[in-house]
C-alpha cells in the first residue's frame, strides 16, 4: 500500500518520527505541496491508497484524478480543506484527529493574556537594547501593567479547551463566565453559564474558544463590541473568522478595546494588508497555539491509529460516515 503525506512539515519539522506510518506501507512525505487547488496535488497523490494532509486541499477534481484513493487522514481536527461530502459519495472515509491540543491551546490563550498584561517580550527587548542599563530610574515599564485578580473572564465556547482556559483563569483569581450552547456539569464547576450579551457586558477579558459555524462567523463585530466594557481585552486562538478584523482594528484604535491577543487571522498566512497589522496594542502570533511537541505527537499517534483502523476494515474518527 502507498501512503502519501502532502504537507508534513508543520506537524513534523524534524523532531518527530513518521515510523508509525512507514511500517504500514510505502510512505512518501512532502514537506509542502500547495495550500490552494493545484494540479500538483493529484500528481503527488498518484496511485496512493491513503493520503495524509493538514492544510493541502483535497477537492472533487483531485479525487477524480486519483481513482486508487481509498482513505484521507487529516493531521488536524478541522477538515474544511476536504470535500468530505464528495468523498462520502465515492466511499472514501475522511478521518480527523478529534482532540490533541486541549492543554497547550488553553495554556496559550492565557499566555496571550499575560503578554497583554505585562508585555514581557517588549521589555526583555528593551533591556537587551540597553535601555535599563542607561535608565535614570531603577525600574521602568513602557505599558500599563494589569492585575487579573478579581477581574472577569468571559469564555465563548466552553468545551474542553474553554474549560482548560477557565480553570487557569480561575486559579489567577478571576471570576469566570461562560457562554455555550451545551452547558454541562464539568463546566458548571468552573464557571457561571450566562447568555452572550451578559458575558460581553460583564467581562474584562473575552476569550474565543468556539467552533466556526455559519452562525458565528464575524461574531465579534462592531455591534457586539459595543456591548462590551470599555477597555476590554479580546483573546482569540480559536478561528480567525470569528472576528471582523476591520471592526476590531477600529475598536483598538478608538480605545473601546484596550488590547487584543490573537493567534489566528481570517486568511492565513496573514496578508500584508490585514488591518490588524496597523492596530495598536494588538499582539499577533502565527497560529502556533497547537504546536507543542507533546500535542503534535498526539496528532501523529492518532493519525497512525486512524490509518491502522482503516486497514483493519473498521475506520475510526470518520467525519463523513
CB-CB contact of 200 with 139 (8 Å):
no
Closest CA to 226 of 257, 258, 194, 265: 257
Q: Which is the catalytic residue, given 37, 147, 223, 268?
A: 268
Return all residues near 10 (Cβ < 8 A) that are at least 6 apart: 54, 55, 291
Query: What nine digits make up the cell of 278?
Result: 496597523
Q: Which is the catalytic residue, given 44, 119, 209, 239?
A: 239
Q: Which is the catalytic residue, given 118, 160, 167, 287?
A: 287
Nearest 5°: CA angle at 10, between 84 and 35? 50
The C-alpha atoms of residue 166 and residue 313 are separated, in whole angstroms, by 40
Q: Which one-letter DSSP state was computed for residue 99?
A: -
Tell me, yes or no, if 239 is annotated catalytic: yes
DSSP string, 283-311: EE--S-TT--HHHHHHHHHHHHHHHHHHH
Tell me, yes or no, if 160 is annotated catalytic: no
The C-alpha atoms of residue 216 and residue 266 are separated, in whole angstroms, by 13
Strand partners, 313: none
Return all residues near 284 (Cβ < 8 A) that are at least 6 apart: 262, 263, 265, 270, 276, 277
Tell me, yes or no, if 223 is annotated catalytic: no
Active site residues: 239, 268, 287
Amino acid at each position: 500500500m502507498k501512503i502519501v503525506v502532502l504537507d508534513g512539515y508543520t506537524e513534523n519539522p524534524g523532531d518527530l518520527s513518521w515510523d508509525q506510518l512507514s511500517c504500514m506501507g510505502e510512505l512518501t512525505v512532502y514537506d509542502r505541496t500547495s495550500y490552494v487547488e493545484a494540479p500538483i496535488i493529484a500528481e503527488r497523490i498518484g496511485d496512493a491508497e491513503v493520503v495524509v494532509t493538514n492544510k493541502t486541499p483535497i477537492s472533487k477534481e483531485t479525487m477524480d484524478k486519483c481513482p486508487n484513493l481509498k482513505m484521507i487522514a487529516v493531521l488536524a481536527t478541522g477538515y474544511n480543506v476536504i470535500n468530505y461530502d464528495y468523498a462520502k459519495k465515492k466511499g472514501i472515509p475522511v478521518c480527523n484527529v478529534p482532540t490533541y491540543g486541549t492543554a497547550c491551546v488553553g495554556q496559550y490563550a492565557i499566555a496571550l493574556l499575560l503578554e497583554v498584561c505585562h508585555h514581557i517580550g517588549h521589555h526583555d527587548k528593551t533591556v537587551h537594547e540597553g535601555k535599563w542599563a542607561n535608565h535614570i530610574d531603577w525600574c521602568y515599564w513602557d505599558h500599563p501593567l494589569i492585575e487579573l485578580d478579581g477581574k472577569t473572564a468571559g469564555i465563548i465556547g466552553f468545551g474542553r479547551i474553554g474549560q482548560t482556559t477557565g480553570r487557569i483563569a480561575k486559579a489567577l483569581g478571576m471570576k469566570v463566565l461562560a457562554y455555550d450552547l451545551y452547558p454541562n456539569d464539568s463546566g458548571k464547576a468552573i464557571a457561571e453559564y450566562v447568555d452572550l450579551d451578559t458575558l460581553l457586558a460583564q467581562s474584562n477579558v473575552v476569550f474565543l474558544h468556539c467552533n466556526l459555524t455559519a452562525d458565528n462567523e464575524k461574531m465579534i463585530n462592531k455591534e457586539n463590541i459595543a456591548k462590551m466594557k470599555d477597555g476590554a481585552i479580546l483573546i482569540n486562538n480559536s478561528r480567525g473568522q470569528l472576528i471582523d478584523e476591520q471592526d476590531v482594528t477600529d475598536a483598538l484604535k478608538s480605545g473601546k478595546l484596550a488590547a487584543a491577543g490573537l493567534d489566528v487571522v481570517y486568511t492565513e498566512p496573514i496578508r500584508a494588508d490585514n488591518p490588524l497589522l496597523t492596530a495598536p496594542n494588538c499582539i499577533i502570533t502565527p497560529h502556533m497555539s497547537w504546536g507543542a511537541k507533546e500535542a503534535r505527537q498526539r496528532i501523529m499517534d492518532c493519525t497512525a491509529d486512524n490509518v491502522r483502523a482503516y486497514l483493519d476494515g473498521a475506520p475510526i474518527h470518520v467525519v463523513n460516515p
